[in-house]
Structures are given as structure tokens and as C-alpha cells.
Amino acid sequence: MNVTELARRLRVHPKELLRILPEYGFDVGMKAVKVDNKVAQQIMRAWPKIKRDLEKKRKQEQEEKRNKEKELRKESGHLVLLPSRITVREFSEKLELPISQVITELMRNGVLANQNQFIDFDTAGVIAEELGFFVEAEEVQDVDIQKEVEQSSAVEEALTNAINVEKRDPVIIVMGHVDHGKTKLLDTIREANIIDTESGGITQHIGAYQTMWKDPKTKEERALTFIDTPGHEAFTVMRSRGAKVADIGILVVAADDGVKPQTKEVIQILKAAKLPFVVAINKVDKEAADVQRTKTELSQHGVIAEDWGGTVPMVEISAKEKLHIDKLLDVLLLVADVHEANIQADKTIDAIGTVIESHVDKHMGPVATILIQAGTLKKGSPLVIHNEIYGKVKAMKDYTGKMIDEAGPSVPVQIMGFKVAPEVGDVLNVGDVKNAKKIDVKQKRNEQTGAQKQTMKIEDHSGDDEKKHKTLNLVIKADVLGSLEAIIGSFDKVLHDEVGIKIIGKGLGNITGDDVSKAESGNGHLIAFNVKPSSSAEEILREKRMPVHKFEVIYGLLDWVNEELEKLLDVEIVVTEIGTFEVRAIFRTEKKQMIVGGLAKTGKLMPNTLARVVRDGEHIAVGKIISCQIGQQEEKKVSAGSECGLRFEGKEKLIEGDIIEVYTEEKRVRKLELS
């Protein structure tokens, strides 16, 4: 078999193939023209494994190069000043890096943005730091987050007009940068191992928990309600929703990492909500821990420790080693006592609360976790949201999973009885039942699970261009609404001239037969985020041999989407001009081949190359050069100025005076670059 034919079958350049083969025990020689058929078959059988190994090596080399560049920047102390908002193109110019590299880095962090889209200071800061730059704000950020952290008017009215108010348990929100130890802190506080249930150690939806602690002054046990929030940047909306229902905040900052972009965002949310908070300086047991540096960085953002003359209590802890957790809880109770006037509620009124988590359970149906903020919710109470009756309370569970009949202020409860899953952030107001109407279940479900219009935007194109625009069709099912929102929000940022994402189905809960039908009819992919197919759907999938793409972490899903979009891009054909040849004599004419003589005018001539026939200045045909010959000797290369013979393959009959343009074509797989 010709080496070129083998390379064509394996979709690799012949020179590259000959370079690779010796590394895997096929020493055919760098100048080989032919390969024994038996050896060729062995190479083709081994090629999938070789290809995977080469791809792995390529990724390792890229990672090593990236890390080396990062370390060099760190050593040189390369500082970059960033404004509060910046386009991706301007960001790449500030970093003096190719825009494709910056977009790739954004994607690695779950952010899909094209070169003309704006990213905020926090996102740009994360990317710049991961690339080895030191980041400082170009100007003081003035981000208005007030709207995100305002309490619902219904809740405010209930709290304001309450008559029989009394002290309630404080609700504490745990916030901070990703991987700074928020969930591990809660895990330590409540002596449970919740972190192991989160994929990759990343919290992907809001959970609420309670713990009992002895008051340092009265020595009585008091309940503390904790809300855990995701730290990944895709869940910004969920973090601000969490701040709406809390009385006290815990800002977790790792002593070995200091203030990071999401730390700054959390500080802004806490300040805008006018929420009293305690700083937990975590990971003080690590060698790289620097508490004084962490306090200095916090002071630069207006968070000054009490022992430095400020108003913010700071506790040095190690969630992993369970160090000073007791001190932190004592401080939280003291802060709650100081703000006692604001931590009150009337438990005699109809219940009002906020949905902090929502999903569809395969056994229980739509389920939501609601934090009761005023009143008492009882079994059988109507579930009124947005003046619509979503159902009634059939059963309630507390944070331990124990069935309860009623829940008062500051108590998080998981409620069964919803006909349709509510959205995270919705306000439950039982008192509105008189004016409420029954929910249109079918319409609401269609809104939640029905097909959504194409999420990527197509600018003004002609009809022909739109037909050429390829889309990745998806049916997405997720475990909770917050995760589904975050996934779709990430997809909304995709904007490319040639490819895009189209969501043809979405919803909560396990994949059903209807989802399979949607994917099949819409030529789409089934995405399961922390869910799985139902037993009936499994049978249909086996019959139809349809795959389900399962993900537990949002990063993995975004990486997969990026790879699939790249597959939709048209293969790039790279044409390389090699040389030209003038036909001066016709020696032999066969059915589809001719042997001609002439002069190599420019460049060089080589066998197994493509050829265009030019006659009277016009391209009239294409063919192939089979072999080159000088005298009786076959040549692998004929240089310009040499007379030679060529074996030409093609339908067109050559005549004297024809010019043959010799060239090669190479197919290259393109990488996704958003524009």
C-alpha cells in the first residue's frame, strides 16, 4: 500500500504519519513510499489507540506550556489593571494574548462569551489570575446590586404589619469564593458529610440546614439555620437570592488564597443587603496560610476586623481540622443578639417563605425546599405563589428528613404537594389564598419543560446564510431548577457565525419517553444533569440505540458542548501550491491516463499530488500526477528548470502548450473561536 493512501485512510499527513509510526513499533522509514499490506493492516488496527495517545500527549504539552507561561508571568510580577466591565477583545489586548486563547480559557471556566461581549471585573479577574497575572481594579466598582437583594414586598409587609412578634432563630448564609471551604464548614458544623454528595466537591444548588448550639451567655441550646450557596460563577443569581432570606452572613475566605473575585462580589452583595456578617478565615492550618495578608486584602475592600478598629468580627478557623468552630458559633449568636430587633417574626399569621431549592423527584414528584420567614406552615395548607394555587401541603420534612406537621419562622422544610415545581426565589404566601386562582398545570409544565427558542442569536443574515448555520440541538433534564437556569444561562452567551445551540426540550427530573421522542424528532442530544432515564425511557433508548450524555459538574457539560460545536464546523481545506509544468510532448494516451513530457517551470513536481490543467489562461480540468520521471529513473521530486516526464491521471486529454499547476490539499479540523 502507498504511504499516501494509508495516510489518507487514517486522515493524517503522510510526513506526520512516517514521523509517528516509529514511536509505536512500526519502523517503516522516514522516506518510505510503500508499506507492506500486512503491516498497513496492523497500523490501521492500532491507529485508534495511537490517536488517543497522541491527543493525550498534545493536551499535556499544551497544559505544560500554559503552566510554564503562567509561572513566568508570576515570577515577573506581571500586573494588569481591569475596569468594572470590559469586552473579551479588549481583555485579550490588555493581557497581550491571542483572543482565541482568552476565549478558550473562559470556556474552561464555564463562561461562553464572544469577542464583542462584556465580562465583569470578577470574571476577568479569575481568568487573568489563572493565566498568571496579578490583578488590580482600574477604578472603584460601583455595582448596583440593590435590586438583587431586596426582600419581596409580601415578606416585608408581613414582617412590618405583624402584631405578635417574638424572637426567632437567626438564618445564616454561608458565602465566599469557590473552593474556600464553605460546604466543608457546614459539614463540620452539623457533623454530617454533605460535601461527599456534591459532584467534584462543588455545591450546585442551595441547601438549608439547622444545628443546635449552647448560648455562651444563657447556656441554653439555640437553633441556627444555615444556607449554603454555590461558589461557581454560573450561580451568581442563586447567591444573591440566598442573601434575600438571611439575617447574618458568613464570608468564608481561605487564608492561603486571600481575597478573590467572588469574594469581592459577596462583599458587595452583603453590603447592598445591609446584612451583618462575620468573616471566617479558613484553612489556617495550611503552611501557606497568611492571616495578616488576608485581613489586609479585606481591609482594602472596606471589611475591617474588630481587632484592627473595625466593626467586622473575624474568626480564624480550620473546617478540616475542626479548629475554632465553637468560637465561630459563639460569635454568630452574639451577632444575632446585637441585631435582635431585626430577627423577629409573628408565628401566629399565615405562613410566608421563600423557595430556596426546587426539583422533581421520581418518587415524590415536584418538591421544593422553603425557608419559612413568618407565620406557621401546617400540613394541608394551600401552596400559594404569585396569586396562584400550586397545590397543598401533603407532607413536610425537616432538614434531617423527619416528617413534621408544622414549621414556624426560620425553619427550612422540604414540601411535597406541588402540582408544578416552583422557581427558586418564588415567595410562598398562604395568606393570599382568598384572591388566588388555581394554577393551569398544563400551561405551567409546558413553560418549564417545553421547547425553548434557539438560545444562540443569529444576526441579520440572508435566508441562504441561515440555512448554512448549524445548530447543536439539545434536550436538557436537570435535578434542580437552579442548575437548569445556570446551564441555560451559560448557553445564552454562545454567539458564533457558523454554529450555535438550540434547546428543543428542557425540564426537571429523570429523562422520560417524551424526552427521547423530542430528541429523536429534533435530531438532538439527550443531556442528563444529575438525573438518569426512567425505566420505560431506558427500554426505548436501548431499542433506538440512542445515547444519553450524563454530567454531574457544569464544567464537564460545557466542555462537551464546546467539543460538539467544533465537530459542526466545516473542515478547513488548506491548499498548498507546489509548482507548474509546461506540456511539450505527448508520449502515450490511455483510457484515463497520459504520459507527457515537458519542463518544470516553477517550484517542484512530486508524485501523488493534485493538478489543474490550464489552457489559454483558463482552468479547464483537474487531475492527479501519478509519477515523475527523468530519463528511465522515477523521481520523488523534480526541481524547476528540469525536463521530465509525467504520468497524468484525469478525464481531460492534454495537448502541447497546456500548463499543469501542481498542488496539495490538506484537511484541518477547526477549533471553535467565538466571534
Query: Is the per-residue pLDDT at 202 higher than 90?
Result: no
Q: Are residues 89 and 54 in the same domain?
A: no
Q: 368-403 burial, b if ≥16 CB within 10 A, otherwise e?
A: bbbbbbbbbbebebbbbbeebbbbbbeebbebeeee
Give the Cα separation of 53 and 48 in Å (integer): 9
102 and 88 part of one domain: yes
For residue range 572-600, what is the model confidence (pLDDT) as tens digits?
778 888 999 999 999 999 888 999 999 99
In the numeric block, which cell numbers belong to residue 94? Answer: 490588555
- For helices 261-272 and 121-130, give the axis angle rounded to 10 degrees: 160
Decide if 164 is inside a domain: no
DSSP letters for 500-561: EEEEEEEEESSB-HHHHHHHHHTT-EEEEES--B-HHHHHHHHHHT--EEEESSHHHHHHHH
Q: Is 75 exposed, middle or buried (0-12, 13-18, 19+ CB in 10 A)?
A: exposed
Check residues 555 and 83 and name the one with the higher pLDDT: 83
Q: What's the chain's Rg over C-alpha atoms?
A: 33
Average the pLDDT over 460-475 and give the result: 59
What ranges make up the beta strands (E) of 234-309?
248-254, 277-282
- What is the arrangement of strands in the sheet containing 470-478, beginning at the earlier edge strand? 499-508, 470-478, 525-529, 548-551
Structural domain for 97, as ranges:
77-137
Cell numbers representing residue 220 in the block: 441554653
Residue type, 15: K
Instruction: Count up the domains in the chain and report the number.
Output: 6
362: DSSP letter: T
Contact (CB, 8 A) for 475 and 518: yes
Adjacent-strand bridge partners of 480: 359
**Residues 405 and 414 sit within 8 Å (Cβ to Cβ):** no
Q: Residue 437: which of 393, 391, 392, 387 has the closest Cα? A: 387
Question: What is the 8-class DSSP label of residue 631?
Answer: T
For residues 468 and 338, state if they share a domain. no
- Distance separating alpha carbons of residues 604 and 578, to the nearest angstrom: 6
Helix, strand, coil shares of the chain, percent, nearest 5, are 35, 35, 30
Residue 372 included in any domain: yes
296 exposed, middle or buried (CB, 10 Å; 0-12, 13-18, 19+)? middle
Looking at 86, 118, 137, the residue that finishes a domain is 137
Phi, psi of 148 (to 5 degrees): -70, -25
In DSSP terms, 630 is beta-bridged to 633
Instruction: Using the 3D structure, point to which of 115, 137, 159 is the last residue of a domain.
Output: 137
**Is pLDDT above 70 for 201?**
no
Residue 192 and residue 125 share a domain: no
Looking at residue 8, the DSSP 8-state letter turns out to be H
Cα-based distances in Å from 541 to 39, 175, 503, 512, 564: 40, 41, 20, 10, 21
275, pLDDT greater than 60 = yes
Question: Has residue 54 been placed in a domain?
Answer: yes
Regarding pTM above 0.85, the answer is no
Residue 673 inside a domain? The answer is no
CA angle 576, 580, 586 (to 5 degrees): 135
Cβ(425)–Cβ(244) below 8 Å: yes
Clarify whether residues 560 and 430 are in a common domain: no
Distance from C-alpha of 33 to C-alpha of 629, rounded to nearest angstrom: 15
> Percentage of the chain surpassing pLDDT 70?
83
CATH number at residue 529: 3.40.50.10050
- Is 149 a domain residue? no
CA 668/CA 571 separation, integer angstroms? 6
CATH of the domain at 593: 2.40.30.10
The tens digit of pLDDT for each residue in 320-377 reads 888 999 899 999 999 999 998 888 888 888 899 888 877 776 667 788 888 898 899 9
The pLDDT score that the predictor gives to residue 528 is: 93
Q: Is 218 exposed, middle or buried (0-12, 13-18, 19+ CB in 10 A)?
A: exposed
Cβ partners under 8 Å of residue 384, min gap 6: 390, 428, 429, 430, 431, 432, 433, 436
pLDDT on residue 229 = 58
Residue 151 lies in a domain: no
C-alpha 566/C-alpha 558 separation (Å) is: 12
- Domain identity same for 461 and 521: yes
Q: Is the pLDDT of residue 385 over 60?
A: yes
Instruction: Out of 42, 74, 106, pick the residue that ends a domain.
Output: 74
Q: Write the DSSP string, 224-249.
A: EEEEE---SGGGHHHHHHHHHT-SEE
Claim to verify: residue 193 and residue 333 sit in the same structural domain: yes
Give the C-alpha separation, 243 to 275, whole Å. Answer: 8
Residue 490's pLDDT is 73
Q: Distance between CA atoms of 384 and 432, rounded to whole angstroms? A: 7
Q: Which of 44-48, 191-195, 497-501, 605-609 has the highest mean pLDDT?
A: 605-609
Average confidence score pLDDT of the chain: 80
Which residue has cell 500500500?
1
Pair (81, 70) in one structural domain? no
Q: Name the residue among 384, 387, 379 with its Cα closest to residue 352.
A: 384
463 occurs within a structural domain: yes
Lowest mean pLDDT among 207-221, 225-239, 591-605: 225-239
Q: Are residues 323 and 278 in the same domain?
A: yes
Mean pLDDT, residues 208-217: 80
The verdict on residue 162 lying in a domain is no
Q: Is the pLDDT of residue 116 over 90?
A: no
Based on the domain organization, do 174 and 307 belong to the same domain?
A: yes
pLDDT class for 156, splitting at 50, 70, 90? Answer: low
Confidence class for position 204, pLDDT limits 50, 70, 90: very low
- pLDDT on residue 266: 82
CB burial class (10 A; 0-12, 13-18, 19+) of residue 71? exposed
Residue 533 phi, psi dihedral angles, 5° rounding: -70, 145
Dump pLDDT digits (tens) for 442-457.
676 655 544 333 333 3
* Residue among 169, 177, 243 at smallest CA distance from 206: 243
List the CATH number of the domain containing 301.
3.40.50.300
Query: Between these two residues, 518 and 244, which has the higher pLDDT value?
Result: 518
- Does 470 lie in the same domain as 487? yes
Q: Residue 148 has what pLDDT?
A: 39
Q: Grid cell 499530488 — which residue?
A: 609
Q: How confident is the model at residue 184 (pLDDT cuts 50, 70, 90)?
A: confident
More confident residue, 335 or 482: 335
- CA 548 – CA 304 distance, rounded (Å): 51
Region 607-619: mean pLDDT is: 90
- Mean pLDDT for the stretch of residues 461-475: 60
Are both 466 and 561 inside the same structural domain? yes
